[in-house]
Amino acid sequence: MTQSQRKNQASSSRVSPDTSAIIPYKDNHDETSQLKALITQNGIPQVSHVEPPEICNHDDVILKVRLAGVCRTDVLAAQGKIAVDNNRVLGHEFCGEISKLGSLSKRLKVGQRVAVNPVITCERCLHCRQNDFHLCGKTQLLGIHQDGAFAKYIRVSQKQIYAIDDSISDKLAAYAEPVAAMLSILHAEIPINSQIVINGSDRISQLCLLILQQHGYQNISLKTDTPCDVLIITSLINDELLLDQVNPGGLVIIKSRSPFQSQLNLADVVYKRLTIKGMNYSTFDQALHFIQKKATLLNQFLGESYALEAFLDAFEESQKKVFLRAD
């Protein structure tokens, strides 16, 4: 099979929302005791009611969710293609406002607007013990392993919270997680004059392009048939990892966190002496600093906000980052 045929086959297998099993929302609950939330049951997404979160640990914080971004991970979890518990509240890219504080949350105050790192670290590995939490290799994620942000309120640890300046909008604050993820490529030690190809045509590949350009990289292409020194994989679903275009001695950076199996020709890696690096996150502080400096440029990626009940419309939007709100 030729490279063109393999790419055409891969494009036909891209994930799109499955509307066949959507359960319509009926508001007949008393919201004084329960909250609207977007949950998944057996791979079927639905707006339902859940118990409000409560303080369980001394460092817990209850946030009122101001805005939550929709990510491909959320769609895959909603469809059952990423395993989550039944009745799990989805969503992990968000900003909020502090509603309640545990006894140890002294640096924070009720009413404060914050960005949230949705990554839950192990707290035990060497990186965590050295406070390099972004390097933890045993992480979990809000909306997958713990209830997420497609609801009016959420419980998080104070360690996940970052105060934000008034100059950062709610949309930009909710966009901090993708920015932190993509800034990690700057730690891959890419020589500045490298010929770089970004393998992807979606929003995250455009964010990757912007970040590289803003840090002095100029020889960048989105054409997947261009020879390159560095190949950055931002999108990979049911696909073969194609390394034909990478020059001998080149670098392959994996940014896609696809849950699907991918094929890799190890002979190509050996014969061409390739280096493969998986890059996960930069720090949230770095992400918020970049957002504050480049807000105007980043706003081009941000789209509309949808009511929680219109989640299917939000799931189908692919051109820009869109958001859900649980009014």
Q: How much is the pLDDT for 138? A: 93
pLDDT digits (tens, 9 = 90+) for 137-184: 999 999 999 999 999 999 999 999 999 999 999 999 999 999 999 999
Q: How much is the pLDDT for 239? A: 63
d(CA 156, CA 87): 18
Q: Which residues does the chain have with pLDDT short of 70?
A: 1-32, 236-240
Q: How much is the pLDDT for 27? A: 46
CA distances to 50, 59, 96, 116, 247 from 63, rounded to whole Å, are 15, 13, 6, 10, 48
Q: How much is the pLDDT for 130? A: 94
Q: How much is the pLDDT for 11? A: 41
pLDDT digits (tens, 9 = 90+) for 30-77: 444 789 999 998 889 999 999 999 999 999 999 999 999 999 899 999
Q: How much is the pLDDT for 20? A: 44
Q: How much is the pLDDT for 14? A: 40
Query: Is 3.40.50.970 the CATH number for 15-182+282-325?
Result: no
What pTM, to 2 d.p., does this model score? Answer: 0.87
Contact in structure between 246 and 231 (CB atoms under 8 Å): yes
Place of tokens 């460092």: 59
Q: How much is the pLDDT for 185? A: 96
- Parse the chain into domains and list their residue ranges: 15-182+282-325, 189-278
Q: How much is the pLDDT for 171? A: 98
Q: What fold does the segment set 189-278 form as a domain?
A: Rossmann fold (3.40.50)
